[in-house]
Amino acid sequence: MIGRLIALALMALAATTTNARAQEGERAQMVVELFTSQGCTQCPRANRLLGMFAREDDVLALTFPVGIWDYLGWHDTYARPEYGDRQRAYSRSLRVRGRFTPQLVFNGARQISASDWDQARATYDAQRADGWPAAAPDLAISRLRNNRVRVTVGARSNAPQADVWLIAYDPGPLTVVVTGGANRNRSVAHYNLVKWIERLDGWNGRSAWYERPRCQPECAVIVQEPNGGRILAAAYTYREGRY
């Protein structure tokens, strides 16, 4: 009887440990952001490229839909004004004339059109080889009970001013059948679709932690220099067997 109780206790401990590990997020070594639109003829293919990046190890790949082609007859069903603001900030910081889709931004440091997969991959490889800046802080995200999320940012001396962003995303794929505009009668799939983005606070090199009551379906945290600057660190939660 005692042996059975011990075995049950060990099983319960193992289950608790496994669950605790599953709640811990992953530290990203690369952040890829795709600015896309359901009204852009080249964007469905670019969305698939983003999905390929999302499957790579230690990569946080995010889709930000923007509505710059809504005037062509189809209003993007996922576009939000704050996503357009983020793209504008990158246009200024990376000295891009105007906005376009499909656009990839790597670690807030490089950008390129996603229309040419070979060039996109080359830019991705070059940025990944550079790694994080020397000022990158220790960063962690974990899921708590009731979908709460906890973010911790470690201290770093001589760190630049930065913002801490919390992002909720749906791994997908989420598919929309477009019935108007340039992609009329096409099915457009989205991967790691951003649902909302929130600035938690500024960061000046001191350690900090935050809790928020929502993290659905998945969440990511990014420490980034202000106004579309370099990304210093990122971490994310995820589901096994996403797609």
Question: pLDDT digit string (tens) for 194-238?
Answer: 999 999 999 999 999 999 998 889 999 999 999 999 999 999 997
pLDDT the model gives residue 207 = 95
Does 242 have pLDDT greater than 80? Answer: no
Place of tokens 């940025």: 127
List pLDDT tens digits, range 138-152.
999 999 988 899 999
Neighbours of 37 (CB within 10 A): 28
Torsion of CA 47, 53, 54, 58, to 10 degrees: -160
Which residue, 174, 200, 178, 199, is CA-closest to 187? 178
Amino acid letter, residue 82: E
Q: Which residues are 219's β-sheet partners?
A: 168
* 134 residue type, one letter: A
pLDDT tens-place string over residues 184-196 = 999 999 999 999 9
Would you give the DSSP letter of residue 204?
Answer: S
Q: How far apart are CA 236 and CA 217, in angstroms?
A: 11
84 sits in the region (left: phi over 0; alpha: psi -120 to 50; else beta) called: alpha
Tell me how far apart the alpha carbons of residues 84 and 208 are, in angstroms, rounded to a whole number.
29
DSSP symbols for 147-160: G-EEEEE---TTPP
Q: In whole angstroms, give the CA distance from residue 123 to residue 116.
A: 11
Helices (H), the chain: 2-23, 43-54, 81-93, 117-130
Question: How far is it, in rounded angstroms, from Cα 54 to Cα 62?
Answer: 8
DSSP 77: S
